[in-house]
């Protein structure tokens, strides 16, 4: 079993696997070693990342919306539907995120000139300033977490994650695909 050398204490996932082996010896529970740890790690990293969002009074969702607006470039505007697509939530959820950000004075909402149905969400000055500081801090935080790996480990991991992700997102890729 990888990563279990020199009698290191079993981690949570390994302990769960041991229990399943005892209770369900008929099953192959090896996949948990990868998938369980991936989820656990994502949770732990998420906790660490949230510490920075909190520091700026932002929830994860609000942080994501501000990032999407900032990434859009001058003049930092996007339609709610675009923001929803970029941040992978429903438009209903986006409405609420924008409500909160608007209330906090970080974005404005106005009608689109071309299409009166559409809205345009724009970063305000304070919004721009806040997300620039927060994102700088966020990247420092991600760097700190990534530096728990050696550069070689990080590169290996990125390659593996990129490959798996592309295969999960496009499951039907046969040899000629």
Partner DNA sequence: TTATATTGTCTTCCATGGAAGCTAATATGC
Partner DNA sequence: GCATATTAGCTTCCATGGAAGACAATATAA
Least separation in angstroms between residue 31's CB and DNA is 22
φ, ψ (nearest 5 deg) of residue 93? -65, -35
**Interface with its own copies includes 6 (CB under 8 A)?**
no
Which of 153, 123, 150 shows the shortest CA–CA distance to 135?
123
Least separation in angstroms between residue 72's CB and DNA is 13
Q: How far is CA 109 from CA 70, 71, 105, in A?
A: 15, 18, 10
Here's the x/- map for its own copies, 101-140, by CB under 8 A: it reads as -------------------------------x--xx--x-
Of 91, 95, 112, 166, the one binding its own copies by CB under 8 A: 166
In the three-class reduction of DSSP (H, G, I as helix; E, B as strand; rest coil), residue 38 is classed as helix
Of 6, 7, 32, 94, the one binding its own copies by CB under 8 A: 32
Least separation in angstroms between residue 10's CB and its own copies is 10
> CB-based contacts of 176: which residues, under 8 Å, 6+ apart?
none
Least separation in angstroms between residue 49's CB and DNA is 14
Closer of 26 and 115 to DNA (Cβ): 115
Q: Are 105 and 124 in contact (CB under 8 A)?
A: yes
Instruction: Determine the Cα–Cα distance for residues 55 and 53; give it in Å rounded to an integer.
Output: 5
Residue 96 CA neighbour count, 13 Å, CB half: 6
Residue 107 CA neighbour count, 13 Å, CB half: 31
**Interface with its own copies includes 75 (CB under 8 A)?**
no
Closer of 103 and 143 to DNA (Cβ): 103
How many chain residues touch its own copies (CB under 8 A)? 67
Which residues bind to its own copies, rule: CB under 8 A? 1-4, 8, 11, 13, 16, 19-20, 22-24, 27-35, 37-46, 48-49, 70-73, 88, 132, 135-136, 139, 142-143, 145-146, 148-149, 153-169, 171
């Amino acid at each position: 079993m990888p990563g279990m050398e020199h009698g290191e204490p079993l981690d949570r996932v390994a302990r769960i696997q041991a229990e399943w082996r005892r209770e369900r010896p008929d099953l192959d529970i090896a996949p948990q070693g990868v998938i369980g740890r991936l989820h656990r790690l994502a949770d732990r990293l998420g906790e660490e990342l949230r510490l920075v969002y909190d520091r700026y009074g932002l929830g994860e969702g609000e942080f994501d919306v501000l990032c999407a607006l900032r990434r859009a470039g001058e003049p930092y505007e996007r339609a709610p539907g675009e923001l929803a697509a970029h941040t992978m939530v429903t438009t209903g959820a986006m409405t609420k995120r924008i409500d909160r950000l608007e209330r906090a004075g970080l974005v404005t909402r106005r009608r689109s000139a071309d299409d009166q149905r559409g809205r345009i969400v724009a970063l305000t000055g304070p919004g721009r300033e806040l997300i620039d500081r927060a994102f700088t801090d966020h990247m420092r935080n991600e760097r700190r977490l990534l530096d728990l790996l050696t550069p070689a480990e990080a590169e290996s991991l990125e390659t593996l994650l990129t490959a798996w992700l592309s295969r999960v997102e496009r499951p039907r890729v046969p040899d000629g695909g």
